[in-house]
Amino acid sequence: MAEPKRIPSATQKGAADVAKKLQALGAKEAFAVLATNENGRPYTSLISFAITPDLKKVIFATPKNTRKFRNIASTKDVAVLIDNRSNKNRGFIETQAITVLGIAKPLRRGRPWLEYSGIFLKKHPELEEFINASTTALIVIDVTSCIHVGNFQTITVMEWDV
C-alpha cells in the first residue's frame, strides 16, 4: 500500500502555468466564491461563472437587489476564488485554487452584453431565463492578477497587463 503524501508545514514557491490552470479550472468548475467589500468588511457569495477565451474576464450574473450588486456598485475591486476542492482527506494535496483579482462592472444591454451573456450561457444554459430577466445584472470582471495555490502550500503568481 502506497504511503500517503506528506502535507508540508511551510509555504514554498512553485512554478506553474497559471493561465493553463485557470483555463482548466474555469472549464471544469461551475461555481466560485466572489469576495466584495461591504463598508470595509469582506463579504462572500457563491456564484456561477464563466471565463472569456482570452482569460482576461470573468462573467457572472446576479439579481440587482443583492448585497453583492450593491457592494460592486460602491467598490469595484473584487476577488473570485475558483477551486476544485473535495471533502476527502486526499484533497489537501490534489486541490488547486486560483484567486482572481479584478475590477467588476455591470454591463448595460447592447453588443458587449450579448457577447458576454453568450459566453456565460454556453457554460450555463440552464440560467437563460435568469440572465435575461430585467431584475438581473450581468457583471464582467476585468482580471488584473491571479494567484495559484496547488499541491498544498505551493504558491505561484501570474500578473496580466490589461
133-152 average pLDDT score: 89
Taking the C-alpha atoms of residue 153 and residue 53, their distance in angstroms, rounded to an integer, is 28
Taking the C-alpha atoms of residue 129 and residue 43, their distance in angstroms, rounded to an integer, is 27
Q: CA-CA distances (angstroms) from residue 137 to 47, 60, 122, 149?
A: 13, 9, 17, 30
Say what the pLDDT of residue 162 is.
Answer: 42
- Percent above pLDDT 70 for the chain: 78
Q: Name the pTM for this structure.
A: 0.84
Residues 35-81: tens digit of each pLDDT: 999 999 999 999 999 999 999 999 999 999 999 999 999 999 999 99
Q: Has residue 160 got a pLDDT over 60?
A: no
Say what the pLDDT of residue 66 is.
Answer: 96
Q: Coil, strand or helix: which one is 148?
A: strand
Say what the pLDDT of residue 137 is.
Answer: 97
Mean pLDDT score across all residues of the chain: 85
The CATH fold assigned to 12-159 is Pnp Oxidase; Chain A (2.30.110)
Q: Has residue 132 got a pLDDT over 80?
A: yes
